[in-house]
Amino acid sequence: MMELLTLWKGWFPELIDGYGLSLEVTALSLGIGVPLGLVLALAVPAKSKAIRISALTFVEIGRGAPVLILLQFVYFGLPTAGLTLTSFASAVVALACCTGAYTSEIIRAGFEAVPYGQKEAALVIGLNGLDALRFVIVPQGLRVALPALLGFSIMMLQATSLCFTIALPELVSRASNIGSTTFEYMPVLILAGLMFAVICIPATLLVSVLERRLGRHAVR
């Protein structure tokens, strides 16, 4: 047991650097992806056919293709079209697109949960379409969508582990490097798993508490 702890102590600084990078990628892709999801959620029911179809295509491809394929498409595929990105930029672009596609569905479900009377009331008191969205529909819809969005964010942190395949030195690629040089795969992977668990377990519990709290109003 002591042996294990000393091993872990030696590896921890390197792994924590990688974890920082994982968190950075998560934060950036959520920061870009969630607003993108909001735009897509508003674009899917749009009146213009061209906007509707392009938004739907984006969402269906983003949700239908594996994240791993999206990552490799950006990192290995785009250079053949003359656009070379670093592994960090590729990770953020691919994961942000994926976030946009998934969260657009979550946000749209949130908007649909807002009673129709709210929209009618907003129009009746003289708000124009944009203001009705901004002051009435979006705040209420996002509130409904919040637990699902947070749940998705946890999934996204776990998805950054796939950036291992595009040579981004995040937590899992560092753990696997340590494993392949020392052959101590089991201990280093356990440590990496624990590091994910330390954030993901409390976050999952928090989301379920939040779900119950916010659900309380909906029941009444």
Partner 1 sequence: MIMDLTAILNGVPWTIALTLASFIVGASLGLPLCAMRLSTIGALRLTSTAIVVSCRSIPPIVWLFFVFFGIGNGLIAMSPFTAAVVGLGVVTAANMSEIYRGALTAIHPGQFEAAKVLNLTRSQQFRDVVLPQLTRIALPSGATYLIGLLKDSAVASTIGVTDLAYQSYHISQQTFRGLSVYAAAALLYILLSLPIAWLSRWADVQLRSRVSR
Six token digits for residue 110? 């949130």
Contacts of partner 1 in 169-208 (CB under 8 A): 172, 175-176, 179, 183, 185-186, 189-190, 192-193, 196-197, 200-201, 204
Q: What is the DSSP string of 133-174?
A: IIIIIHHHHHHHHHHHHHHHHHHHHHHGGGGGGGT---HHHH
- 209 touching partner 1, by CB under 8 A: no
Count helices and strands in the chain by DSSP H and E runs: 9, 0
Contact 21, 168 (CB under 8 A): yes
Q: Which stretch binds partner 1 (CB under 8 A): 8-16, 118-126, 158-166, 208-216?
A: 158-166
- Which stretch in 11-19, 113-121, 142-150, 152-160 sits in contact with partner 1 by CB under 8 A? 152-160
Cα–Cα dist 109/141, whole Å: 8
Interaction mask 83-122, partner 1, x per CB under 8 A: ----------------------------------------
Q: Quick one: tokens of 176? A: 């696997």
What does each C-alpha distance from 95 to 28, 92, 131, 183 come to in angstroms? 9, 5, 31, 31
The binder of partner 1 chosen from 43, 165, 169, 210 (CB under 8 A): 165
**Sole binder of partner 1 in the list 77, 143, 210, 211 (CB under 8 A):** 77
Which range binds partner 1 by CB under 8 A, 37-45, 112-120, 164-172, 209-217?
164-172
Instruction: State the burial class of residue 152 (Cβ atoms within 10 Å of its Cβ: 0-12, 13-18, 19+).
Output: buried
The residues that touch partner 1, with contacts defined as CB under 8 A, are 60-61, 64-70, 72-73, 76-81, 154, 158-159, 161-162, 164-165, 172, 175-176, 179, 183, 185-186, 189-190, 192-193, 196-197, 200-201, 204
